[in-house]
Structure 1
Amino acid sequence: MAQNNRMQYLATCAVSIATMTTSTAAFWSAPILPKFHNNETSISLTSNEISWVVAIMAPGMVTGSLVPSFVSDKFGRRVTLLTSAFPFIVGTVFVLCATEAWSLYIGRFLWGIGFGMITTVSSVYLSEIANKEIRGTLTAITRFMSSFGALLVLGIGSYVTYQVLSYFMIVLPICYFLACWRIPESPYYLLKEGKVDSARKALLRLSGSKNDKMVEEKLSLMRSDVRREMLRSSSVKELLTGKQYRKAVIMSAGLRFTQMFAGTLPIQQYIGRIIQQSNSGFQVSTALVIFGIVRFIVGIISPVIVDKMGRRPLLIYSYLGSFVMLTSVGIYFFFQKIVGIQEESSNPFRYIVFIGIVSSIVISGIGYDTLIFIIPSEIFPMNVRSVASTTLNVFTALLSFVAVKGYQPLEDWTGLYGVFWFYASMALSGAVFSHFFVLETKGKSLREIQIELQGNIYDDSDEDSKKVTTDDVKENTELKELT
């Protein structure tokens, strides 16, 4: 890594421990549910109670996504990251001490709050501290660590007790709290608050440069951008109705919608059952471990690829690749039901389901599953960035609830082949959507992206911002007065 990017990578590593914590919380249920069913814990739960334990994180994610809209803009990105550790710690205490279902509900709900806070603020923070040349790589690193967290839970969860896995869940938030204690605040946020001296110091740390002139030039550009963007409203209403944000909103919402209904999350939740129904001969525990390893490897590859290829072509090709894989899995289940393929020993195509699902995971992990988090952090201007991140997280949580809860009714109605063909059709829709509506952001500064998205509207706001001159605003108070 380049020496002047060292602090940016260190800050990303600290944030990555937080994103790793979210994935361990999300995948905790995969190895734990069999323990509940096999009475390997001291907690006795009905099937209905178990389903609520799994589902209760989604409402928590909605709540957690709303918190940063206040905390992040009031106290800063760093403070929000630090605060998010407490719901995980307190939630894990409830999980560890649980003797009844309600304690698990509270614990998982609190995990959802921490999950929502981290996913909302981490992408905003990284987009604001990163140089444009490595911005995609830094965000993709957090996705890699998320995959690593999933691997740990899936790999060890089946072989340790409920208590041991839960203790592991309390260590991670403590680790990322300590790691994030030393990271610098976002210079953009500090400028928004009028703390120019603090922003200068943060920028010096992040750039690792001793060239004061270069730092001052970059700071001047940042001040100009923040001044322009803070002249505008930052409400949800402004985000959804403002003409200047329309393209960014359509891009982000469309990508989240097609990604979620292309089956990424439902397949992850139901992969064990799908493997059982495929008669492939794989043990569920083995499939879970391989699944975790594949996600981990993809996490290593994606940071390398995401800044080598453009965002738009990678989106298109990954959606098309998933379309092919998901279609092939659907075809297998169609022939299984119509022709009656049942015996695994005599079925020469019995590995199609496993290979198709794993290939889809690889393709989507390198492509759209990573890029749907990178692109929104790049295309929204400063004044609505936190609001946009919060709104997208709430939107995603609602979509995830519908997608996961809708899996079983869809299977009952159409069979597994209908489920996978539906996912394939959504993947194809994602490719079409990316071709016609997604802007290429690779190698562009946040300013250049806004100029391309907003066109004349951005130019008009630039003229408005010129009315606010440096002489009119005093150092350390100028931007604060504008808000």
Structure 2
Amino acid sequence: MPSVNREDERVGQYSYTEVSTFQISEGNTRNMAPEPVKSGRIFLAAVAANLSAFVVGTTLGWTSPIGPKLKAEDTSDSPLSRPITSDEDAWISSLIAIGALVAPFAAGPLADRIGRKWVLLSSSLFFVLAFGLNMVASEVWILYLSRLVQGFGVGFVMTVQPMYVGEISTNNVRGATGSLMQLFIVAGILYVYAIGPYVSYQALQWCCIVVPVVFDVVFYTMPESPYYFAGKGRKTEALRALQFLRGQSADGVHDEMAEIQANVEEAMANKGTMMDLFKNAGNRRALFICAGLISFQQLSGINVVLFNSQSIFESANTGLDPAIATIIIGCVQVASSGLTPLVADRLGRKVMLLCSSSVMSIGLAALGWFFYKQLVHNDISSVVWMPVPALILYNIVYCTGFGPLPWAVLGEMFPANIKSSASSLVASICWTLGFLVTYFYPSLDALGSYYAFWLFGGCMIVAFFFVLFVVMETKGLSLQEIQDRLNGKRD
């Protein structure tokens, strides 16, 4: 029987051997009743990590209240000495996507080198710098630089946060914790929607810069992913992290720790590269599913809606204050996003994605019809009520389906040895399309807003059939069971 050193005594009754397994060193407790998992610990860590998503939301919603200030003829509440042009407005909206599509290729490898936790904490540096640049911006190019830097922070968060949350969660709550990202993003968007129209330009920057600081303070107290520690050979720290997350003793986490260790050892023995995403049939299928879901998420036109909500309502001219209408939309996003963690592990990812894509296409078709009546027939008397409920419907089903679930699926689809590479590639695909959609929207809008919204609606019809025939249900499956099914293995 191996001896127990002092460090092992502090963390429990198990002593790791040199072959990366652990054995019971003081009696056999395996026949005792299993200890219950304290899921509240998992949600505590997931919520702390998702404060970074709240920061992302502030950057995504920032242009909605700031755009009208920058475009106004009266520049008293603008850092610039002149109104921005439509082309400059397009660049300010879309440059965040350029930074976000580049950053994952640094964030993924860093997550494997220094840990998921420290990469998420470091993302705050980009956001603080960006909002600081906004405060001193006297030329448009400084705003361009700020949005690019914000994009780097967004790329770090969107790449690593799904990895962290997926790895700390148990099978039965992974859908719920994975869905929290969307809830916190839209909460961040609502934060700037509600504050932005009623405070000065400079005051909004201060309101935004405090959020990443709060995130760092809170998340610093949370544990690193046990998978990361195990992969680095830091087995005692992996056990401690898992005990904290499960609220159990070393006996209670014995089986899960053994499974994590086995998965990590297999991943280390078969260290993956970007090319392994394409060599293995299961990895190819996972990449096709995740890249497809993320692509349709962006082709739904969500960034156009988020970045231009206030301008869309001004163009609609429904008689409702655009700032109030935008806040209503933000509240709807938060309320509907709050439903997803409650039902994701009950209804399943596939059912929710099917409902989301079908209903979003209806909302986009209705919005396109409104602008068609306005621009072609110059008569909206019969449909003046339509934009607000259409956007409310669109946002409800987006926030319960295509908003959170592609990221939740990304966090559970890939084996540990290529997870960082896969996350980097999929996040870059997301933001490449995000840039293209956001940048070219003003050109489509110039032809007629209805063209853009009908195009987005058509994409969601295609998304429905993609989910129906291609996407695999992952509800209730362990990470290993997901890999088995992707590779054609059945129980």
**Superposed pair shares fold, TM > 0.5:** yes
Aligned equivalent of 2:466, options 428, 433, 436: 433
- Cα distance between partner residues in 2 of 1:118 and 1:41: 29
Give RMSD over aligned pairs.
2.0
Q: Residues 314-354 of structure 1: CA distance to partner in whole angstroms, max 9, x if unpaired?
A: 11111111122222223333344454314xxxx13211122
Q: Which residue of 1 aligns with 2:19?
A: none
247 and 77 in structure 1: CA distance in 2 versus 1, 3 angstrom threshold: same
Q: Which residue of 1 aligns with 2:478?
A: 445
2:235 maps to 1:202: no
2:454 maps to 1:416: no
Q: Which residue of 2 aligns with 1:44?
A: 81
445 and 126 in structure 1: CA distance in 2 versus 1, 3 angstrom threshold: same
- Cα distance between partner residues in 2 of 1:284 and 1:79: 40
- SS of corresponding position for 1:144: helix
How far apart are residue 243 of structure 1 and its match? Answer: 2.3
Checking the alignment, whether the CA contact within 8 Å between 2:98 and 2:148 is kept in structure 1 is yes
2:340 maps to 1:302: yes
- Cα distance between partner residues in 2 of 1:31 and 1:442: 38
* Structure 2 unaligned residues grouped into runs of 5+: 1-35
- Cα distance between partner residues in 2 of 1:74 and 1:385: 13
2:189 maps to 1:150: yes
- Cα distance between partner residues in 2 of 1:289 and 1:251: 34
Q: Pairwise mapping of residues 24-35 of structure 1 onto structure 2 (< 5 A)?
A: 24-35=58-69
- SS of corresponding position for 1:56: helix
Q: Which amino acid aligns with 1:441?
A: T
230 and 25 in structure 1: CA distance in 2 versus 1, 3 angstrom threshold: same
Checking the alignment, whether the CA contact within 8 Å between 1:36 and 1:44 is kept in structure 2 is no
Q: Which residue of 2 aligns with 1:476?
A: none
**Higher share of residues assigned helix:** 1
- Cα distance between partner residues in 2 of 1:178 and 1:113: 21
- SS of corresponding position for 1:234: coil
Checking the alignment, whether the CA contact within 8 Å between 1:12 and 1:142 is kept in structure 2 is no
Q: Pairwise mapping of residues 172-211 of structure 1 onto structure 2 (< 5 A)?
A: 172-210=211-249
Q: Residues 364-421 of structure 1: CA distance to partner in whole angstroms, max 9, x if unpaired?
A: 11112111111111111111111111111111110001111222333344x3332222
Stretch deviating more after TM superposition (84-93 or 429-438):
84-93
Q: Residues 263-309 of structure 1: CA distance to partner in whole angstroms, max 9, x if unpaired?
A: 22222223333333334222221221111111111122222122221
- Cα distance between partner residues in 1 of 2:368 and 2:95: 30
Q: Residues 149-170 of structure 1: CA distance to partner in whole angstroms, max 9, x if unpaired?
A: 1111000111111111111222
Checking the alignment, whether the CA contact within 8 Å between 1:305 and 1:366 is kept in structure 2 is no
Q: Which residue of 1 aligns with 2:285?
A: 247
Q: Which residue of 2 aligns with 1:127?
A: 166
Q: Which amino acid aligns with 2:160?
A: V
- Cα distance between partner residues in 2 of 1:416 and 1:182: 47
- Cα distance between partner residues in 1 of 2:328 and 2:269: 51
Aligned equivalent of 1:377, options 411, 426, 444: 411
Of all paired residues, the percent bearing the same amino acid is 27
* Structure 1 unaligned residues grouped into runs of 5+: 460-483
154 and 205 in structure 1: CA distance in 2 versus 1, 3 angstrom threshold: same
Stretch deviating more after TM superposition (263-272 or 311-320):
263-272
How far apart are residue 141 of structure 1 and its match? Answer: 2.2
Q: Residues 425-450 of structure 1: CA distance to partner in whole angstroms, max 9, x if unpaired?
A: 11111110001011101111111111
- SS of corresponding position for 2:257: helix
Q: Residues 22-42 of structure 1: CA distance to partner in whole angstroms, max 9, x if unpaired?
A: 110111121112222231124
- SS of corresponding position for 1:383: coil
Q: Pairwise mapping of residues 59-70 of structure 1 onto structure 2 (< 5 A)?
A: 59-70=98-109
Q: Which amino acid aligns with 2:320?
A: F
Q: Pairwise mapping of residues 98-137 of structure 1 onto structure 2 (< 5 A)?
A: 98-137=137-176
- Cα distance between partner residues in 2 of 1:92 and 1:271: 21
- Cα distance between partner residues in 2 of 1:233 and 1:77: 18
Q: Pairwise mapping of residues 320-399 of structure 1 onto structure 2 (< 5 A)?
A: 320-342=358-380, 347-399=381-433
Aligned equivalent of 1:230, options 262, 268, 274: 268
- Cα distance between partner residues in 2 of 1:50 and 1:353: 23
Stretch deviating more after TM superposition (68-77 or 39-48):
39-48
- SS of corresponding position for 1:131: coil
Q: Which amino acid aligns with 1:173?
A: P
- Cα distance between partner residues in 2 of 1:156 and 1:423: 29
How far apart are residue 220 of structure 1 and its match? Answer: 0.8
Q: Residues 229-256 of structure 1: CA distance to partner in whole angstroms, max 9, x if unpaired?
A: 3333422222134323011011011111
Q: Which amino acid aligns with 1:98?
A: A
Q: Which residue of 2 aligns with 1:220?
A: 258
- Cα distance between partner residues in 1 of 2:104 and 2:81: 32
Q: Residues 36-70 of structure 1: CA distance to partner in whole angstroms, max 9, x if unpaired?
A: 22311242243244443332212211232222122
Aligned equivalent of 1:9, options 43, 67, 89: 43
How far apart are residue 3 of structure 1 and its match? Answer: 6.6
2:259 maps to 1:259: no
Q: Give every structure 1 segment of 4 or more consecutive aligned residues whose post-TM-superposition deviation is greater than 4 Å.
A: none
2:440 maps to 1:406: yes
53 and 406 in structure 1: CA distance in 2 versus 1, 3 angstrom threshold: closer
- Cα distance between partner residues in 1 of 2:487 and 2:259: 18
Q: Which amino acid aligns with 2:214?
A: C
Checking the alignment, whether the CA contact within 8 Å between 1:319 and 1:428 is kept in structure 2 is yes
How far apart are residue 196 of structure 1 and its match? Answer: 1.6
Q: Which residue of 1 aligns with 2:10?
A: none
- Cα distance between partner residues in 2 of 1:90 and 1:416: 35
- Cα distance between partner residues in 2 of 1:310 and 1:246: 22
- Cα distance between partner residues in 2 of 1:24 and 1:337: 32
- Cα distance between partner residues in 2 of 1:336 and 1:107: 36
264 and 42 in structure 1: CA distance in 2 versus 1, 3 angstrom threshold: closer
Checking the alignment, whether the CA contact within 8 Å between 1:252 and 1:372 is kept in structure 2 is yes
- SS of corresponding position for 1:87: helix
Aligned equivalent of 1:22, options 56, 62, 72: 56
- Cα distance between partner residues in 2 of 1:94 and 1:417: 36
- Cα distance between partner residues in 1 of 2:183 and 2:189: 10
How far apart are residue 181 of structure 1 and its match? Answer: 1.2
Normalised by the length of structure 2, the TM-score is: 0.87
412 and 369 in structure 1: CA distance in 2 versus 1, 3 angstrom threshold: same
Checking the alignment, whether the CA contact within 8 Å between 2:286 and 2:414 is kept in structure 1 is yes
Q: Residues 84-124 of structure 1: CA distance to partner in whole angstroms, max 9, x if unpaired?
A: 11111222222222222333222222211111101110000
